[in-house]
Amino acid sequence: MTRTMINVLSVCTLTLAGATQPAFSQQADAKTPTDENLVVTELAQGLVHPWGMTFLPNGDMLITEREGGIRRLSQSGELSPRLSNVPEVEANNQGGMLDIAIDPEFEANNTVYFCFSQPGEGGSSSSVAKATLSGNALANVETIFSAAPLIDNGFHFGCRLAFDANKQLFITLGDRYKYMKEAQNTDNHFGTIVRINRDGSVPSDNPFTDGKAPEIYSYGHRNVQGITIHPETGEVWAMEHGPKGGDEVNLLSKGANYGWPVITYGIDYSGDIISDKTHMDGMEQPVLYWDPSIAPSGMTFYQGDLFPQWNGDLLVGSLKFTHLRRIEMDGGKPGEQHEYVRDNQARIRDVEVGPNGAIYLLTDATNGKVLKLTPAK
Protein backbone atom coordinates (compact mmCIF):
# COMPACT_ATOMS: atom_id res chain seq x y z
CA MET A 1 0.00 0.00 0.00
CA THR A 2 1.25 3.47 -0.88
CA ARG A 3 0.50 6.53 1.21
CA THR A 4 0.79 10.17 0.20
CA MET A 5 -0.16 13.46 1.82
CA ILE A 6 -2.24 15.96 -0.11
CA ASN A 7 -3.57 19.44 0.45
CA VAL A 8 -7.23 20.23 0.05
CA LEU A 9 -8.31 22.65 -2.65
CA SER A 10 -11.28 24.84 -1.89
CA VAL A 11 -13.43 26.36 -4.61
CA CYS A 12 -16.90 27.77 -4.80
CA THR A 13 -18.34 26.58 -8.12
CA LEU A 14 -21.99 26.34 -7.26
CA THR A 15 -24.92 27.31 -9.38
CA LEU A 16 -28.25 27.23 -7.61
CA ALA A 17 -31.36 26.08 -9.42
CA GLY A 18 -33.71 28.91 -10.25
CA ALA A 19 -31.01 31.56 -10.06
CA THR A 20 -31.43 34.43 -12.50
CA GLN A 21 -27.71 35.14 -12.86
CA PRO A 22 -25.57 33.15 -15.31
CA ALA A 23 -23.79 30.06 -14.08
CA PHE A 24 -20.51 30.57 -12.27
CA SER A 25 -17.55 29.22 -14.19
CA GLN A 26 -15.67 26.15 -13.04
CA GLN A 27 -12.19 27.21 -11.95
CA ALA A 28 -10.15 24.29 -13.22
CA ASP A 29 -6.88 25.79 -11.96
CA ALA A 30 -8.09 26.79 -8.48
CA LYS A 31 -5.29 26.40 -5.94
CA THR A 32 -6.74 27.86 -2.78
CA PRO A 33 -5.17 25.90 0.09
CA THR A 34 -6.89 25.20 3.39
CA ASP A 35 -5.53 23.98 6.71
CA GLU A 36 -6.95 20.49 6.14
CA ASN A 37 -4.85 17.54 4.96
CA LEU A 38 -5.66 14.00 3.95
CA VAL A 39 -3.76 10.76 3.79
CA VAL A 40 -4.26 8.89 0.51
CA THR A 41 -3.58 5.16 0.72
CA GLU A 42 -3.44 3.02 -2.41
CA LEU A 43 -5.19 -0.24 -1.56
CA ALA A 44 -5.06 -1.92 -4.97
CA GLN A 45 -4.05 -1.35 -8.57
CA GLY A 46 -4.21 -3.28 -11.83
CA LEU A 47 -7.98 -3.02 -12.20
CA VAL A 48 -9.12 -2.50 -15.80
CA HIS A 49 -11.37 0.57 -15.80
CA PRO A 50 -13.04 -0.11 -12.44
CA TRP A 51 -16.58 1.30 -12.41
CA GLY A 52 -18.53 0.40 -9.29
CA MET A 53 -17.91 -0.93 -5.79
CA THR A 54 -19.84 -2.11 -2.76
CA PHE A 55 -18.83 -3.24 0.71
CA LEU A 56 -19.64 -6.66 2.12
CA PRO A 57 -20.56 -6.99 5.82
CA ASN A 58 -17.11 -8.43 6.64
CA GLY A 59 -15.36 -5.35 5.22
CA ASP A 60 -14.34 -6.90 1.90
CA MET A 61 -15.24 -5.01 -1.25
CA LEU A 62 -16.68 -6.12 -4.60
CA ILE A 63 -15.42 -4.08 -7.56
CA THR A 64 -16.57 -4.17 -11.17
CA GLU A 65 -14.33 -3.74 -14.21
CA ARG A 66 -15.98 -2.21 -17.22
CA GLU A 67 -14.69 -4.79 -19.67
CA GLY A 68 -16.60 -7.49 -17.84
CA GLY A 69 -15.08 -8.54 -14.55
CA ILE A 70 -16.12 -8.50 -10.91
CA ARG A 71 -13.33 -8.81 -8.34
CA ARG A 72 -13.11 -9.04 -4.59
CA LEU A 73 -10.73 -6.91 -2.52
CA SER A 74 -10.15 -8.30 0.95
CA GLN A 75 -9.62 -6.20 4.05
CA SER A 76 -5.98 -7.29 3.98
CA GLY A 77 -5.55 -5.83 0.49
CA GLU A 78 -5.65 -9.02 -1.56
CA LEU A 79 -7.31 -8.63 -4.95
CA SER A 80 -8.97 -11.81 -6.18
CA PRO A 81 -9.07 -13.08 -9.74
CA ARG A 82 -12.30 -12.29 -11.55
CA LEU A 83 -15.36 -14.04 -10.20
CA SER A 84 -16.53 -16.94 -12.32
CA ASN A 85 -20.00 -17.32 -13.87
CA VAL A 86 -20.32 -13.60 -14.61
CA PRO A 87 -22.60 -13.11 -17.64
CA GLU A 88 -21.37 -11.75 -20.96
CA VAL A 89 -21.35 -7.97 -21.32
CA GLU A 90 -21.28 -5.64 -24.31
CA ALA A 91 -17.97 -3.92 -23.51
CA ASN A 92 -18.29 -1.19 -26.12
CA ASN A 93 -17.27 2.44 -25.46
CA GLN A 94 -19.13 3.36 -22.24
CA GLY A 95 -20.81 -0.02 -21.91
CA GLY A 96 -19.72 -3.06 -19.96
CA MET A 97 -19.92 -4.27 -16.37
CA LEU A 98 -21.01 -1.18 -14.47
CA ASP A 99 -22.44 -0.74 -10.97
CA ILE A 100 -22.88 -3.30 -8.19
CA ALA A 101 -24.82 -3.44 -4.90
CA ILE A 102 -25.58 -6.00 -2.22
CA ASP A 103 -29.02 -7.06 -1.07
CA PRO A 104 -30.33 -5.27 2.05
CA GLU A 105 -30.49 -8.75 3.63
CA PHE A 106 -27.15 -9.93 2.30
CA GLU A 107 -26.09 -11.60 5.54
CA ALA A 108 -29.08 -13.92 5.20
CA ASN A 109 -29.10 -14.51 1.42
CA ASN A 110 -25.62 -13.64 0.01
CA THR A 111 -27.32 -11.90 -2.93
CA VAL A 112 -25.64 -9.28 -5.10
CA TYR A 113 -27.05 -7.13 -7.91
CA PHE A 114 -25.12 -5.70 -10.83
CA CYS A 115 -25.98 -3.49 -13.78
CA PHE A 116 -24.35 -4.17 -17.13
CA SER A 117 -24.77 -3.56 -20.84
CA GLN A 118 -26.32 -6.82 -21.99
CA PRO A 119 -25.95 -7.84 -25.64
CA GLY A 120 -28.99 -8.96 -27.57
CA GLU A 121 -30.49 -9.09 -31.02
CA GLY A 122 -30.25 -5.60 -32.53
CA GLY A 123 -28.02 -4.04 -29.90
CA SER A 124 -27.63 -3.85 -26.15
CA SER A 125 -29.47 -2.57 -23.13
CA SER A 126 -28.81 -1.63 -19.53
CA SER A 127 -29.77 -4.74 -17.59
CA VAL A 128 -29.68 -5.76 -13.94
CA ALA A 129 -28.98 -9.28 -12.74
CA LYS A 130 -29.07 -10.79 -9.27
CA ALA A 131 -26.88 -13.67 -8.16
CA THR A 132 -25.69 -15.54 -5.10
CA LEU A 133 -22.11 -14.82 -4.10
CA SER A 134 -20.37 -18.08 -3.26
CA GLY A 135 -16.66 -17.73 -2.59
CA ASN A 136 -15.07 -16.49 -5.79
CA ALA A 137 -18.05 -17.37 -8.00
CA LEU A 138 -21.58 -16.31 -8.78
CA ALA A 139 -24.46 -18.78 -8.70
CA ASN A 140 -28.15 -18.58 -9.59
CA VAL A 141 -27.57 -15.67 -11.95
CA GLU A 142 -30.89 -14.18 -13.07
CA THR A 143 -31.60 -11.06 -15.12
CA ILE A 144 -34.42 -9.19 -13.37
CA PHE A 145 -34.60 -6.02 -15.51
CA SER A 146 -33.66 -4.99 -19.04
CA ALA A 147 -34.19 -1.52 -20.44
CA ALA A 148 -36.22 -1.42 -23.63
CA PRO A 149 -35.67 -1.11 -26.49
CA LEU A 150 -32.22 -2.44 -27.36
CA ILE A 151 -30.00 0.08 -29.17
CA ASP A 152 -26.93 -0.47 -31.34
CA ASN A 153 -24.52 2.04 -29.79
CA GLY A 154 -22.19 2.16 -26.81
CA PHE A 155 -23.23 5.35 -25.06
CA HIS A 156 -25.28 6.65 -22.11
CA PHE A 157 -26.16 3.47 -20.24
CA GLY A 158 -26.51 5.10 -16.81
CA CYS A 159 -26.46 1.96 -14.62
CA ARG A 160 -26.05 3.10 -11.01
CA LEU A 161 -27.90 1.14 -8.29
CA ALA A 162 -29.30 2.02 -4.86
CA PHE A 163 -31.69 0.38 -2.40
CA ASP A 164 -34.04 2.59 -0.40
CA ALA A 165 -35.41 2.03 3.11
CA ASN A 166 -38.24 -0.07 1.66
CA LYS A 167 -35.68 -2.45 0.09
CA GLN A 168 -36.73 -1.37 -3.40
CA LEU A 169 -34.05 -1.05 -6.05
CA PHE A 170 -33.48 2.16 -8.01
CA ILE A 171 -31.69 1.81 -11.35
CA THR A 172 -30.42 4.83 -13.26
CA LEU A 173 -30.52 4.81 -17.04
CA GLY A 174 -29.40 7.04 -19.90
CA ASP A 175 -30.93 8.38 -23.10
CA ARG A 176 -28.52 6.28 -25.25
CA TYR A 177 -27.17 9.51 -26.75
CA LYS A 178 -28.91 9.66 -30.13
CA TYR A 179 -32.35 9.18 -28.60
CA MET A 180 -32.49 12.16 -26.26
CA LYS A 181 -36.00 13.22 -27.28
CA GLU A 182 -37.25 9.84 -26.06
CA ALA A 183 -36.36 10.89 -22.51
CA GLN A 184 -39.78 12.60 -22.52
CA ASN A 185 -41.57 9.38 -23.51
CA THR A 186 -42.68 7.22 -20.58
CA ASP A 187 -43.45 4.27 -22.84
CA ASN A 188 -39.77 3.29 -23.02
CA HIS A 189 -36.82 3.41 -20.63
CA PHE A 190 -34.67 6.05 -22.34
CA GLY A 191 -33.50 8.75 -19.93
CA THR A 192 -35.31 7.42 -16.87
CA ILE A 193 -34.73 6.18 -13.36
CA VAL A 194 -36.64 3.01 -12.63
CA ARG A 195 -37.72 1.36 -9.38
CA ILE A 196 -38.31 -2.36 -9.00
CA ASN A 197 -38.70 -4.92 -6.24
CA ARG A 198 -35.83 -7.26 -5.50
CA ASP A 199 -37.36 -10.00 -7.65
CA GLY A 200 -37.76 -7.64 -10.61
CA SER A 201 -41.49 -7.08 -10.17
CA VAL A 202 -43.00 -3.60 -10.36
CA PRO A 203 -44.01 -1.82 -7.13
CA SER A 204 -47.75 -1.23 -7.14
CA ASP A 205 -47.33 2.48 -6.36
CA ASN A 206 -44.99 3.23 -9.27
CA PRO A 207 -46.35 6.27 -11.15
CA PHE A 208 -46.67 4.79 -14.65
CA THR A 209 -47.96 1.26 -14.03
CA ASP A 210 -50.56 1.62 -16.82
CA GLY A 211 -47.91 2.35 -19.45
CA LYS A 212 -45.49 0.26 -21.49
CA ALA A 213 -42.60 0.94 -19.09
CA PRO A 214 -44.18 0.51 -15.64
CA GLU A 215 -40.81 0.39 -13.91
CA ILE A 216 -40.26 4.14 -14.44
CA TYR A 217 -39.99 6.26 -11.30
CA SER A 218 -38.84 9.56 -12.88
CA TYR A 219 -37.97 10.70 -16.40
CA GLY A 220 -36.44 13.50 -18.44
CA HIS A 221 -32.88 12.51 -17.53
CA ARG A 222 -29.81 12.46 -19.77
CA ASN A 223 -27.19 10.03 -18.42
CA VAL A 224 -27.46 9.35 -14.70
CA GLN A 225 -24.17 8.15 -13.23
CA GLY A 226 -24.82 8.77 -9.56
CA ILE A 227 -27.59 7.82 -7.13
CA THR A 228 -27.66 7.68 -3.36
CA ILE A 229 -30.07 7.56 -0.44
CA HIS A 230 -29.80 10.31 2.14
CA PRO A 231 -28.76 8.58 5.39
CA GLU A 232 -31.09 10.67 7.57
CA THR A 233 -34.10 11.64 5.43
CA GLY A 234 -34.24 8.57 3.19
CA GLU A 235 -34.62 10.84 0.16
CA VAL A 236 -33.30 9.62 -3.19
CA TRP A 237 -30.74 11.87 -4.86
CA ALA A 238 -29.34 11.43 -8.36
CA MET A 239 -26.68 13.06 -10.50
CA GLU A 240 -26.43 13.16 -14.29
CA HIS A 241 -24.08 14.21 -17.04
CA GLY A 242 -25.18 17.22 -19.03
CA PRO A 243 -23.98 17.77 -22.57
CA LYS A 244 -21.45 20.64 -22.81
CA GLY A 245 -22.38 22.19 -19.47
CA GLY A 246 -25.41 21.44 -17.36
CA ASP A 247 -24.38 18.50 -15.19
CA GLU A 248 -27.12 18.21 -12.56
CA VAL A 249 -27.76 17.03 -9.01
CA ASN A 250 -31.45 16.27 -8.47
CA LEU A 251 -33.67 15.37 -5.54
CA LEU A 252 -36.00 12.74 -6.96
CA SER A 253 -39.78 12.80 -6.73
CA LYS A 254 -42.05 9.99 -7.91
CA GLY A 255 -43.41 10.64 -11.41
CA ALA A 256 -41.44 13.87 -11.85
CA ASN A 257 -40.10 15.13 -15.17
CA TYR A 258 -36.54 16.52 -14.99
CA GLY A 259 -36.76 18.20 -18.35
CA TRP A 260 -34.12 16.74 -20.67
CA PRO A 261 -33.86 17.75 -23.48
CA VAL A 262 -36.71 20.30 -23.40
CA ILE A 263 -34.92 22.32 -20.73
CA THR A 264 -31.18 22.24 -20.08
CA TYR A 265 -28.32 24.37 -18.79
CA GLY A 266 -25.97 22.94 -21.43
CA ILE A 267 -25.38 23.09 -25.17
CA ASP A 268 -24.42 20.45 -27.72
CA TYR A 269 -20.75 19.44 -28.01
CA SER A 270 -20.72 21.13 -31.43
CA GLY A 271 -21.82 24.41 -29.85
CA ASP A 272 -25.36 24.13 -31.22
CA ILE A 273 -28.27 25.06 -28.99
CA ILE A 274 -30.23 22.04 -27.74
CA SER A 275 -32.90 24.18 -26.11
CA ASP A 276 -33.12 27.88 -25.33
CA LYS A 277 -35.14 27.07 -22.20
CA THR A 278 -33.88 26.35 -18.70
CA HIS A 279 -37.30 26.39 -16.99
CA MET A 280 -40.74 25.12 -17.93
CA ASP A 281 -43.93 24.47 -16.01
CA GLY A 282 -44.25 20.85 -14.98
CA MET A 283 -40.50 20.21 -15.15
CA GLU A 284 -38.20 20.02 -12.15
CA GLN A 285 -35.19 22.23 -11.49
CA PRO A 286 -31.91 20.71 -10.31
CA VAL A 287 -30.73 21.33 -6.77
CA LEU A 288 -27.50 22.46 -8.40
CA TYR A 289 -25.78 22.26 -11.76
CA TRP A 290 -22.29 22.76 -13.12
CA ASP A 291 -21.30 24.81 -16.14
CA PRO A 292 -18.74 23.94 -17.47
CA SER A 293 -19.34 20.27 -16.85
CA ILE A 294 -17.21 18.39 -14.35
CA ALA A 295 -18.33 14.99 -15.74
CA PRO A 296 -19.60 13.66 -12.39
CA SER A 297 -19.63 9.95 -11.60
CA GLY A 298 -20.46 8.27 -8.31
CA MET A 299 -22.05 10.08 -5.38
CA THR A 300 -22.77 9.56 -1.71
CA PHE A 301 -23.54 11.56 1.39
CA TYR A 302 -20.83 11.45 4.01
CA GLN A 303 -21.73 9.92 7.33
CA GLY A 304 -18.99 8.76 9.68
CA ASP A 305 -16.68 9.52 12.56
CA LEU A 306 -13.40 10.14 10.71
CA PHE A 307 -14.55 13.43 9.19
CA PRO A 308 -17.23 14.61 11.64
CA GLN A 309 -17.31 18.11 10.18
CA TRP A 310 -18.31 16.61 6.83
CA ASN A 311 -21.38 14.74 8.05
CA GLY A 312 -24.29 15.35 5.71
CA ASP A 313 -22.11 16.74 2.92
CA LEU A 314 -22.35 15.36 -0.61
CA LEU A 315 -19.33 13.64 -2.18
CA VAL A 316 -19.06 13.23 -5.95
CA GLY A 317 -16.31 12.11 -8.31
CA SER A 318 -15.17 14.20 -11.27
CA LEU A 319 -13.92 12.46 -14.39
CA LYS A 320 -13.08 15.61 -16.32
CA PHE A 321 -11.23 17.52 -13.63
CA THR A 322 -9.81 14.45 -11.87
CA HIS A 323 -10.86 15.15 -8.30
CA LEU A 324 -13.18 14.24 -5.48
CA ARG A 325 -15.64 17.06 -4.80
CA ARG A 326 -17.30 17.77 -1.48
CA ILE A 327 -20.41 19.96 -1.46
CA GLU A 328 -21.36 21.42 1.88
CA MET A 329 -25.04 20.76 2.53
CA ASP A 330 -27.28 22.55 5.00
CA GLY A 331 -30.89 21.43 5.24
CA GLY A 332 -30.79 20.03 1.71
CA LYS A 333 -29.32 23.23 0.26
CA PRO A 334 -25.83 23.26 -1.26
CA GLY A 335 -23.08 25.62 -0.18
CA GLU A 336 -19.35 25.89 -0.74
CA GLN A 337 -17.59 23.19 -2.74
CA HIS A 338 -14.12 21.71 -2.21
CA GLU A 339 -11.77 19.62 -4.36
CA TYR A 340 -9.47 16.81 -3.23
CA VAL A 341 -6.84 14.42 -4.74
CA ARG A 342 -6.63 16.51 -7.87
CA ASP A 343 -2.85 16.23 -7.98
CA ASN A 344 -3.22 12.51 -8.64
CA GLN A 345 -4.55 13.42 -12.11
CA ALA A 346 -6.86 10.40 -11.99
CA ARG A 347 -10.42 10.25 -13.30
CA ILE A 348 -12.63 9.50 -10.29
CA ARG A 349 -15.30 7.01 -11.34
CA ASP A 350 -16.90 6.08 -8.02
CA VAL A 351 -16.91 7.17 -4.39
CA GLU A 352 -18.12 5.30 -1.31
CA VAL A 353 -17.92 5.74 2.45
CA GLY A 354 -16.67 2.62 4.16
CA PRO A 355 -17.91 1.07 7.41
CA ASN A 356 -15.03 2.74 9.26
CA GLY A 357 -15.84 6.23 7.93
CA ALA A 358 -12.95 6.33 5.47
CA ILE A 359 -13.67 7.47 1.91
CA TYR A 360 -12.91 5.11 -0.96
CA LEU A 361 -12.37 6.08 -4.61
CA LEU A 362 -12.06 4.19 -7.89
CA THR A 363 -9.82 5.66 -10.58
CA ASP A 364 -10.92 5.08 -14.17
CA ALA A 365 -7.87 3.83 -16.08
CA THR A 366 -6.41 0.73 -17.69
CA ASN A 367 -4.40 0.45 -14.47
CA GLY A 368 -7.25 1.49 -12.21
CA LYS A 369 -6.77 1.87 -8.48
CA VAL A 370 -8.66 1.79 -5.21
CA LEU A 371 -7.76 4.76 -3.01
CA LYS A 372 -8.60 5.23 0.65
CA LEU A 373 -8.84 8.70 2.19
CA THR A 374 -8.35 9.27 5.91
CA PRO A 375 -7.55 12.38 7.97
CA ALA A 376 -3.94 13.29 8.60
CA LYS A 377 -2.89 12.80 12.20
Q: What is the pLDDT of residue 156?
A: 98
First CA to last CA distance, the chain: 18
Q: Is the pLDDT of residue 257 over 50?
A: yes
Q: What is the pLDDT of residue 344?
A: 83
Q: What is the pLDDT of residue 189?
A: 98
CA 361/CA 65 separation, integer angstroms: 14
Mean pLDDT to the nearest integer, 351-363: 97
Between the alpha carbon of residue 374 and those of residues 55, 57, 301, 308, 338, the distances in Å are 17, 20, 16, 12, 16
| Domains defined for the chain, CATH in brackets | 2-375 (2.120.10.30)
Q: What is the pLDDT of residue 132?
A: 98
What is 152-207 written as a DSSP string?
Answer: SS-------EEE-TTSPEEEE-B-TTTTGGGGG-TTS-TTEEEEE-TTSPPPTT-T
Q: Is the pLDDT of residue 166 over 60?
A: yes
Please identify which of the residues 49, 156, 221, 241 carries the catalytic annotation.
156
Q: Is the pLDDT of residue 11 over 90?
A: no
213: left (phi over 0), alpha (psi -120 to 50) or beta: beta
Q: Are 211 and 218 in contact (CB under 8 A)?
A: no
In this prediction, residue 343 has a pLDDT band, given cuts at 50, 70 and 90, of confident
Q: What is the pLDDT of residue 37?
A: 80
pLDDT in tens, 206-254: 999 999 999 999 999 999 999 999 999 999 999 999 999 999 999 999 9
Q: Is the pLDDT of residue 375 over 60?
A: yes
Q: Is the pLDDT of residue 191 over 70?
A: yes
Determine the residue type at 2.
T
Q: What is the pLDDT of residue 252?
A: 98
Of 4 and 103, the structure prediction assigns the larger pLDDT to 103
Q: Is the pLDDT of residue 271 over 80?
A: yes
Q: Is the pLDDT of residue 310 over 60?
A: yes
In this prediction, residue 350 has a pLDDT band, given cuts at 50, 70 and 90, of very high
pLDDT in tens, 17-66: 443 333 333 333 333 334 368 999 999 999 999 999 999 999 999 999 99
Tell me the average pLDDT of the chain. 91
Q: What is the pLDDT of residue 36?
A: 62
Q: Is 156 a catalytic residue?
A: yes
Q: Is the pLDDT of residue 16 over 60?
A: no
Q: What is the pLDDT of residue 377?
A: 80
In this prediction, residue 2 has a pLDDT band, given cuts at 50, 70 and 90, of low
Q: How many CA atoms lie within 13 A of 56 on its CB side?
A: 21
DSSP state of 194: E
Q: What is the pLDDT of residue 14?
A: 46
